[in-house]
Amino acid sequence: MSDPQIIVLDNGLRLVHLHRPGVFAGIFGITVAAGSASESASEHGLAHLVEHNIFKGTAKRRSWHITNRIESDGGELNAFTTKEETTVYAIFPAGNPKRPIELIADLAINSVFPAAELDKEREVVIDEINSYRDTPMDAVYDDFEDMVYAGSPLGHNILGTPDSVRSLDSEACCHFLRRHYTVASSVLFYSGPDSADTVRRTACRYFAALPAGTPSGTTPESRPTEYRHVSDSIAIDGLHQSHTVVGMPIGSIYDNSRYGDALFSNIIGGPGMNSLLNVELRERRGLVYTVEASVARFTTTGLLTVYYGCDADDTDRCLNLVRRTARRLADTPEPALARLLARGIKQYCGQLSIAAENYESRIMNAARSVLFNGTLSDLRHTISRLEAVTPEFIRRRADELARADFLTYHP
């Protein structure tokens, strides 16, 4: 298997191609620099609504024809929206890349968002919003981000609200598509057995009519983000567990600290059973089922968070343990901290090597890297940057986490 490569089509559209000879399935899609942060104040939920309805009809296909174009061969169509991007893709049996490439081009260029289909799917989205609010483990993250980024493009839920979604119509969806689904703001991606030349020629043919556009992704210069301090608890009826997010602002996807932050997050609360917070809160004391740290990075800013869910009576105790663990890490003597960091680097690099075998995730991450950075991420380069993280950086982040803000849902 070769490394991914960037191919520029005749109209300037970029394609990330990962050649995997001998495999039985391919992945093809488009990722667009347009998400909830691209919406105006009157459009909350529009990017996600467009993603839901992009499969509902084009100038030449109805919803049923779109679905069966891929699924009749055993493949699947899917899509997702984040705060700053939307991705539409197909996974399909190897042997006929023309079918998914032509279909996704049709969706990106010719979707018409029929009013009758939009009315039905709008109710599906509203149900998704309501069901999401029934999952406090997820909702507390969103509310924390909304409070932290209040007043900025990042400061509202990706799904929107029932009222905002009801106010959006076919015209709004079509305008959003024309505004953002363009050559300048999009990257195609393919992973599978077909050669780069085959995929390039097919994509050139079917994406020739994609509008040129201008870059629409948020940038540090044009979209300053306002950070507001949060330290709050919210009582919610019907909860049987308390849910808490502790977090702090960090740098953007362009910041060199991103390597250190990923490493720190993994050490303090990564997926391994040996993460510091898992040992303290779960293994030693049995206070939580889940405790995890994560990093969310955007083009203007970033957020490092720790989440835990526990019995309501243990909320404050767990919060104190999070802060004490971070403080103990910050106060660790230099030789011991250097040894802990060396172990953390080895573990995280191993996790990255294993993750590289997930080809769906790998090709989508490569496309995102090209979309926002203009270059492909390289595992060897990433490992070298991780190995350059210093104990002092870990100490500084631990000190900041010990003083970080929090939001708690409690019964």
What is the enclosing helix (H) or strand (E) of 231?
Answer: strand 231-235
On the question of a common fold for 5-206 and 231-410, the answer reads yes
CB-based burial of residue 157 (10 Å sphere; 0-12 exposed, 13-18 middle, 19+ buried)? buried
The pLDDT of residue 225 is 63
Closest CA to 231 of 411, 410, 407, 409: 407
Q: At what angle do helices 98-110 and 63-71 cross, to 10 degrees?
A: 160
SS3 of 145-198: the string is HHHHCCCCCCCCCCCCCHHHHHCCCHHHHHHHHHHHCCCCCEEEEEEECCCHHH
Tens of pLDDT, residue by residue over 349-398, are: 999 999 988 999 999 999 999 999 999 988 899 999 999 999 999 999 99
The pLDDT of residue 95 is 85
The pLDDT of residue 104 is 98
Confirm or reject CATH 3.30.830.10 for domain 5-206, answering yes or no.
yes
Torsion angle in degrees (nearest 10) through CA of 375, 377, 304, 234: 80
Residue numbers in the chain where pLDDT is lower than 50: 217-223
Question: Spelled out in words, what is the top-level CATH class assigned to the domain 231-410?
Answer: alpha beta
The pLDDT of residue 378 is 86
Rg of the chain, C-alpha, whole Å: 22
Report the Cα 361 to chain-centroid distance in Å: 11
The pLDDT of residue 238 is 86
Domains in the chain: boundaries: 5-206, 231-410
CA dist 258 and 255 (Å) reads: 6
- Of the CA atoms within 13 Å of residue 186, those in its CB half-sphere come to 28
pTM for this model (two decimals): 0.94
Q: What are the backbone angles phi and psi of residue 119, rounded to the nearest 5°? A: -60, -45
- Of the CA atoms within 13 Å of residue 35, those in its CB half-sphere come to 23
CA dist 196 and 163 (Å) reads: 46
Answer yes or no: are the C-beta atoms of 217 and 137 closer than 8 Å.
no
Cβ neighbors of 71 (< 8 A, separation 6 or more) are: 77
Cβ atoms within 10 Å, residue 233 = 13
Cβ neighbors of 166 (< 8 A, separation 6 or more) are: 122, 126
CB-based burial of residue 22 (10 Å sphere; 0-12 exposed, 13-18 middle, 19+ buried)? exposed
The pLDDT of residue 219 is 43
Cβ atoms within 10 Å, residue 324 = 12
| DSSP SS3 for 268 | helix
User: 8: which strand partners?
Assistant: 14
Answer yes or no: are the C-beta atoms of 252 and 301 closer than 8 Å.
yes
The pLDDT of residue 83 is 96
| DSSP SS3 for 251 | coil
CA end-to-end span of the chain: 52
In this structure, which amino acid lies at residue 15? L
Tens of pLDDT, residue by residue over 172-227, are: 999 999 999 999 999 999 999 999 999 999 999 999 999 999 765 444 344 456 67
- Two tokens at 128? 């998704």
